[in-house]
Amino acid sequence: MNKAGSKGNRNQGIKRRAKLWRKEPICEACGKEPATSFSQFRAGPNGMGVTWKFTGDCTIDTEIRWEGFDRAFRSVPAFLDLIANTAGKHRFEPTDFFLMLERFRRATDSYGEY
């Protein structure tokens, strides 16, 4: 299975051909490939907890849920919908999720955009 194909263009931007970020985010799992999704993994003792990372294809067999950047960032309402929907999921851990977004902000050099 081609994970990149299933996730689509990682940084197509809201405007066609525009880039969303100054810097391409690199997969937090392998450190080698472009990140293409926010992905959730089992974590903690006995895998009872969850943790979020932004990753590429290498985690396709280990992630329990992923949200592709092509969908997450296709519009401002789409991103808002993703955040609100994710917060309503079972076992949502806000600190872990927002720490990932902070790392993502650093990885994409998005400081000062708001």
Q: Which residues bind Zn ion (CB under 5 A)?
A: 27, 29-30, 33, 56, 58
Output 62 or 85, the one with its CB closest to Zn ion: 62
| Residue 36 CB, nearest approach to Zn ion (Å) | 9
State the DSSP H helix or E strand holding residue 102, giving kind and residue range, or none if neither: helix 94-107
Please, what's the b/e burial string for 42-53 (b: 16 or more CB within 10 A of its CB; e: otherwise)? Answer: eeeeeeeebebb
Output 58 or 107, the one with its CB closest to Zn ion: 58
| Residue 102 CB, nearest approach to Zn ion (Å) | 20
| Residue 31 CB, nearest approach to Zn ion (Å) | 7
Number of helices (H), then strands (E), belonging to the chain: the values are 4, 3
Residues in the chain: 114
Output 27 or 50, the one with its CB closest to Zn ion: 27
